[in-house]
Chains A and B, each alone.
Chain A
C-alpha cells in the first residue's frame, strides 16, 4: 500500500517534470522563427529600402548611453529593411567570442574595441573578409586615412577616439596651447605656482580594475611617438624594439617626471579611478592644471566631475621632436563579420555610411570614423575630430595592438613604476622577457 502511494507520487513528480521540459521546449520555438530567418537563401543583399526581414545578431562592448546610441543608430535600418537587430552588450566580449570561435556559436557581427584581437580571429578564419561586402573605394575615401591604413579586409571602423589630449580648466589656465614639451612644462609649473596652495601641474589616475595602469600606457605611447618617431613606434608594437632600448626608457623617464609633478602622490595616482582623474581640475583651489586623457573623458568631467560645457578645454599633445611634428595617437571600435548572412551584409553596409554615423555623432560621446559625419554637438568634440582627420602621422594605440600578454604586462609595469620609480631597469628587463614569449606564438 504505502509503496504504491510513494510510487504514485514519484510518477506525478516525473510527469510534471516532463511537462515542464516540454512546455519550455515549446516556449523556445517562437524565437526560432525570428532568429532562424537569417538563413533564407534566396534573399539578395539588401538594396536601400528593400524589405529583407529576418534578424542579425550583434555583440559589442557598448553599454549604458553607448548602447542607446547604437540602437538609435540602427533604428532607421530596422525600419527600412525590416531586419531586426538583436544587440548584446557586454564587457566580457573576449570570453564570449573566444569560446564562440572554438565552438562555432557566434553572433553575426561583432563590435571590437581594437584591431589586435581581431587580427588573431581573422587569422584563425573566424572573421569573414569584408572586401566583397563593401565598396572599398568609397570606404577609403570617406574614412579618416589614418584608420584606413589599419586595414579594410577584416573589420571596418565605426567609432574613433583621439588620445593624448591635454585638458584644462580655461578659468584657471589661460596661457594658451603649449607648442613644445619644454613650453608645456614651464607653462604648467607657472600656472601651478600662480594657483597657489598645493596645486600641481598634472593630474594622473590609473585605477581601472584589472586594466589598471592603461592611462599610463597612453602617456608612454604619446611620448615614444613624439620623441622617437613612428618607425620606432611600429617596431615597438611589432615586438622588435626592446623595452630596455634607450628610446623606450627615455619615454618612461619623461613619464616619471610627470608622475613626480602629479597631484596626490603615487598611492593616490594608483588608487584613483581614471574616470575621476580630472575632477581636481575643477576644484577651488585646483589640485592640478593639466590632465592627459583621450577625447571620451568629457563625459566623465560632466557626469562625475561636476563640470559643465565651457568648464573644460584642451590642446593637442605638443610636438617633442620637430622631425615628427603633427603626430597623433588614436583608437577606435571596429566591426567584424562572423556569419556571412544577407542581413549581416546589409547592416555592415549601412553602418559605414555617414548618415548612420551622424546619428551617434549627434547624440554626443563619440567621434566618427567617417569624415562626412561631422555634426558634432559641441566645439570640443568638433576640434577632436578635426585632429583625427588632419593628422600628419597617425598611430593606433600601441598597447591595444600588442598581444594580450604583452598588453597586460605593460599595464602592470606602469603601476609598479609609479609605485617605485627607482626600479625602472628591472621593470623594463621584465617587459623584455614577456616580449620574447608573447610574440612567439
Chain B
C-alpha cells in the first residue's frame, strides 16, 4: 500500500513546487514507476507462466512467451477451478479470515485507546510487555496452545468440533501485539486538545473512544485491517495445525491450493494459476479500503 500511497504523496509535493522545479515531478514519477515495475517483474513472470504448459515453462523463460507465436492456454485455470473442494475451501477461508480480522482489530482498538489516553498504574510496563510479544515466533506456541484448546483443555479443537473458534482465537492472539502497537502509536499521536475539550464538555471515556478516537483513527484501522486480512488469508501453517489433523472439510484455500502439487513437487504448474485466483479477493479488499487512507490524510481532523 505504500507503493500506492506514494504517487499521491509525490503528486502533492510536486504540485506545491511545480513552479520552482518543473522537472521534479516528472523525475519523481519516473523513479516511482520504475521501482514499481521492478517490484512487479516476478508477478508478471508468474502471470505469463500461469497460461503456459509445464513443458514450455521448463524449457524456456517466461519472457520468451511475450512475442509471437503465442502458445498460451487456459488449462491450468480450468484444472484449478474444477478441483474438488475449491468452493468449500474458499468459503472456509472467508469464514476463518473475516472474524480473525475483526476480532483482533476490535480488541486492539480498545487496548490502544487505553494505552494512549487512560491513566492507570503499570501502563507503560504493560505496553512494553505487549510489544515484547512481537518477537515470539508463533511456532513455539503451537503445542501449549493446542493442549489448552484441545481435548485436554477447553476442547475447541478435535473431532466433533469445527475448530473454527480455536483458529479465530489463535489468530487474534497472534495478531494482537502488532495491532496494539500500530494503533497505540497512531492514537497516541492524535491531538490532546481534542480529548481535553471533549472531557470539558462532559464526555466520558466511552464517548471519547467511540466518537473521537475511532473516527480519527480510520486510516490506521484500514491499514491494520489489510495487514491482518492478508496475514490470515495467506496463512497455511496455523490453519493446518489447528484444523488439519481432525477436520479436513474445514480447511481453507491455502491448504487446498498447496496440495494441488504432489508430494514430490510435481504438478506445480497449477500453483501459479491458483495463486492468481487467490490473489483476487485481497486485491478487492485493498482497493475498497484504499479510499480511507486518502480521506484520513485530507480529512483535516487535526485542525479541530
Contacts and interface: CB of A to CB of B under 8 A. Distances in A.
B249 A104 contact: no
Interface string B132-150: 0000000000110011001
Nearest to A339: B159
Given A275-B264, A276-B58, A102 B146 contact: yes
Contact of B259 (A28, A63, A95, A103): A63
A147 to B, nearest CB: 19
Interface stretch (A297-305, A392-400, A413-421): A297-305
B55 A305 contact: yes
Interface string A1-21: 011011101100100010011
B263 A103 contact: no
A103 B160 contact: no
Contact of A63 (B142, B158, B261): B261
Contact of B244 (A9, A21, A59): A59
Given A64-B266, A273-B265, A88 B207 contact: no
B267 A35 contact: no
Given A57-B245, A62-B262, A113-B263, A88 B150 contact: no
Interface stretch (B111-119, B161-169, B291-299): B161-169
Contacts of A6: 206-207, 209-211
A303 B264 CA distance: 13
A64 B262 contact: yes
A10 B213 CA distance: 14
B151 interface: yes
B259 A35 contact: no
B244 A299 contact: no
Interface string A262-293: 00000000000101100100000000000000
A339 B251 CA distance: 21
A31 B245 contact: no
Contacts of A17: 103, 106
A303 B265 CA distance: 12
A44 interface: no
A318 interface: no
Interface in B151-192: 151-152, 157-165, 168
A66 B267 CA distance: 10
A9 B266 CA distance: 54
A79 to B, nearest CB: 17
B285 to A, nearest CB: 19
Contacts of B99: 20, 24
Contact of A57 (B54, B202, B207, B246): B246
A29 B162 contact: yes
A92 interface: yes
A16 to B, nearest CB: 10
B263 A88 contact: no
Contacts of A89: 259
A208 B240 CA distance: 22
Given A32-B160, A105-B150, A304-B54, A96 B245 contact: yes
**Interface size range on A against B:** 35 or more
Given A9-B210, A95-B237, A104-B151, A275 B266 contact: yes
A187 to B, nearest CB: 28
Given A7-B206, A304-B58, A35 B264 contact: no
Contacts of B266: 64, 275, 299-300, 303-304
B248 A28 contact: no
Interface in A21-57: 21, 24-25, 27-29, 31-32, 35-36, 38, 57
Contacts of B264: 275, 296, 299-300
B211 A2 contact: yes
Nearest to B251: A88
Contact of A99 (B54, B103, B142): B142
Contact of A61 (B202, B250, B263): B263
B247 interface: yes
B245 A59 contact: yes
A86 interface: yes
B112 to A, nearest CB: 16
Nearest to B162: A28
B130 interface: no
Contacts of B54: 303-304
B248 A87 contact: yes
Contact of A27 (B59, B162, B168, B261): B162
A279 B55 CA distance: 10
Interface in B50-97: 54-55, 58-59, 95
A62 B237 CA distance: 17
Contact of A208 (B165, B168, B204, B265): B265
B275 interface: no
Nearest to B163: A28
A65 interface: yes
B59 A88 contact: no
A327 interface: no
A102 B270 CA distance: 34
Nearest to A90: B240
A107 B58 contact: no
B247 A35 contact: yes
B28 interface: no
B55 A104 contact: no
A31 B95 CA distance: 15
Contact of A107 (B160, B245, B267): B245
Given A64-B259, A66-B262, 20 more contacts: A38-B159, A57-B247, A59-B244, A64-B267, A65-B267, A89-B259, A90-B259, A95-B237, A95-B241, A97-B245, A105-B151, A105-B157, A105-B246, A113-B263, A275-B266, A276-B58, A299-B264, A299-B266, A304-B55, A304-B266
19 contacts: A9-B210, A10-B206, A27-B164, A31-B161, A32-B161, A35-B246, A38-B159, A64-B259, A64-B270, A90-B240, A96-B244, A100-B146, A100-B245, A103-B150, A105-B150, A105-B157, A106-B245, A275-B265, A299-B264
Interface of B: 54-55, 58-59, 95, 99, 103, 106, 142-143, 146-147, 150-152, 157-165, 168, 202-204, 206-207, 209-211, 236-237, 240-241, 244-251, 255, 258-267, 270
Interface of A: 2-3, 5-7, 9-10, 13, 17, 20-21, 24-25, 27-29, 31-32, 35-36, 38, 57, 59, 61-67, 86-92, 95-97, 99-100, 102-107, 113, 208-209, 273, 275-276, 279, 296, 299-300, 303-306
What 8 A-B pairs have minimum CB-CB distances, sorted nearest first?
A28-B162, A103-B146, A36-B160, A64-B262, A63-B259, A64-B267, A61-B263, A86-B248
